[in-house]
Amino acid sequence: MKLQKLSGILIRAFWLGILLLAIWANLFILWGVRMYASHAQWFNLSYHEFELFMYGAMIFFKLGLILCFLLPWLAIKWAQYSKKTKN
């Protein structure tokens, strides 16, 4: 697979992940209490613990996006730029 195509796939996956994260954050902001009520039936969590879990999961997801998609995309772009400047 060419690096150009791979970099396109990586950046699209990154932005789709950011879109999913934005939807998740907005749902949590708008319906956080309802989400807590539905989860409180199954798990013995206080609302504070539920918030901490949600924020922690969002941070973990965002770091995963950065490490798995954005950094490899940047490395590919850097390698392509270095190749252009050498020629």
Instruction: State the alpha helices, DSSP H only, in 2-70.
Output: 3-40, 47-65
User: Total structural domains in the chain?
Assistant: 1
The CA-to-CA distance between both ends of the chain, in Å, stands at 22
pTM of the model: 0.88
- Asked whether residue 6 is domain-assigned, the answer is no
- Asked whether residue 32 is domain-assigned, the answer is yes
- Asked whether residue 73 is domain-assigned, the answer is yes
- Asked whether residue 48 is domain-assigned, the answer is yes
Report helix angle 3-40 to 47-65, nearest 10. 170
pLDDT for residue 11 is more than 80: yes
> pLDDT value at position 86?
79
What is the mean pLDDT of the segment spanning 4-19?
Answer: 97
Phi/psi for 41 (5° steps) reads -65, -35
**For the chain, what is the mean pLDDT?**
94
Contact 58, 18 (CB under 8 A): no
pLDDT for residue 1 is more than 80: no
- Asked whether residue 71 is domain-assigned, the answer is yes
- Asked whether residue 43 is domain-assigned, the answer is yes
Give the model's confidence band at 46: pLDDT under 50 very low, under 70 low, under 90 confident, else very high: very high
Domain assignment of residue 40, given as a range: 13-79
